Copies of this chain bind each other. A is one copy, B any other.
Amino acid sequence: MPAKLRDVAQKAGVSIKTVSRVVNNQGEISEATRQRVLAAIADLHYRPSKVARALVTQRSDTVGLVLSDITNPFFPEVARGVLDVAESCGYNVFLCNSDGNLERETRILESLVDHGVDGVIIFPTFELEPVLRRLAGPHLPIVVVNRQYDLPGVSTVMIQTRRGAQLAVEHLIRQGHTAIAMLAGQSHEVPQLERVQGYRDVLAAHGLPIREEWIIGGVPVRNRGRESALALLSRYPEITAIFAYNDLLALGAIEACQALGRRVPEDCAIIGFDDIPLAGAVCPPLTTVHVHKYELGRLAVERLLQMLAQPDQTFVPIWADVELIVRASA
C-alpha cells in the first residue's frame, strides 16, 4: 500500500498542507521542517498521486497523440519526437490509432477528455471542424497537423507539402524530363491537393502541358502504385518520369518499371514523398521529398505546451520544413 500525504505528515509531525508545500516547493518553509519532511518522504518512498492532484488542479500532465496508424512508417519518428519532449517536460502521452476513421477519431477524442488529458495532438484524416468546435477550447488545447482550422483552442502545424511537390517536379525537369506523370494518391484533402497543385504549378511555370490523364489517383499503397504505374506506362510509353504522392506508391512504380523492363532512372525516373525508412533501403534507392518527422512531432508538442501555458493567446500556424533527397531513382 503506497504512502500518502497523510502518512508522511504523521511521520514528520506536521500537517499535510506542509508536506504538500514541500512536495510542490511553494511557500516559505523553515529549513528544519523541510528536511524533516523530506526525510519522511524518502523513508516512506512517498510519491504524490497524479490522479488525486489532477482532480483538484484539472491538470493531469498527460496529453493525447492521435494518428491514423503507428504502423504506417511515417509515424514512429513523429511519435518519438512528441514523446521525447513530452517526457522531458513531465508529461505522459496516450497513443491512439484512428485508422483515418471519423467515428473513431471522435470516439478517441472523447475518451481522451474523459481521461482528463491536458491537450491533444492530432493528425486528422477527415473534416474535424464539428468535433473540434465542440471539444477544443481553453480547457482543451488541440494542435492539428496539416489542416487549418480557425477555431478557439486549436492551433496548427503544417508540412510544406506544396513546396515539397515543387522541389520534386523541378528536380525532374532539371534532369531534362518533360513527360512527367503523377500518382496522385486518393483523398481530396488538403495535403493531397497540395501535392497535385505543386506538380501543376511547376509544369505550368515551365510551359509544360498538363495532361489530366497522366494524373492518376488511388489508395496510396504499394500494390496500387504498381498497378497504376503499369497502366500509365503501358498506355503512354512516352512518359519518362513519375512523381508519386508518397514513397509507397513510388516503390510500386519501381516494381512496375521492373516488370516492364524499364530501367530506373534511365528509362523512367521515379520520385516519392515522405522519405520513410524503406526509401533509402530499396534498390534503386528512392529519390524523395524528406519530411522532418521527428522535428514535426517536436514542433507539435512544443506548440501544445505553449498553448497550455498561455490558454488565451492565439498562435499562428507553424510550417515544418521539407527537403529534396536525391538518391538513385531520379
Contacts and interface: CB of A to CB of B under 8 A. Distances in A.
A114 B114 CA distance: 18
Interface string A202-231: 000000000000000000000000000000
Interface string A78-104: 011001100100001111110000000
B79 A49 contact: no
Contact of A115 (B92, B97, B113, B251): B92
Nearest to A82: B95
Interface stretch (A5-13, A69-77, A159-167, A170-178): A69-77
B50 A116 contact: yes
A69 B80 CA distance: 8
Contacts of A282: 281-283
A263 to B, nearest CB: 14
Interface in A95-146: 95-97, 108, 110-116, 139
Contacts of A1: 139
A51 B69 CA distance: 27
Given A76-B70, A281-B251, A115 B62 contact: yes
A69 to B, nearest CB: 7
Chain copies in the assembled complex? 2
A48 interface: yes
A158 interface: no
A110 B69 contact: no
Given A47-B114, A112-B92, A114-B50, A83 B70 contact: yes
A2 B94 CA distance: 21
Interface in A32-72: 47-52, 54-55, 60-62, 69-71
A278 interface: yes
A18 to B, nearest CB: 21
Interface of A: 1-2, 47-52, 54-55, 60-62, 69-71, 73, 75-77, 79-80, 83-84, 87, 92-97, 108, 110-116, 139, 251, 277-278, 281-283
Given A62-B94, A281-B282, 16 more contacts: A1-B139, A2-B139, A48-B114, A49-B55, A70-B70, A70-B76, A70-B83, A73-B277, A79-B95, A80-B97, A92-B94, A93-B94, A93-B95, A94-B94, A95-B95, A278-B281
**Which 3 A-B pairs have CB atoms at the shortest separation, nearest pair first?**
A95-B95, A51-B116, A71-B76
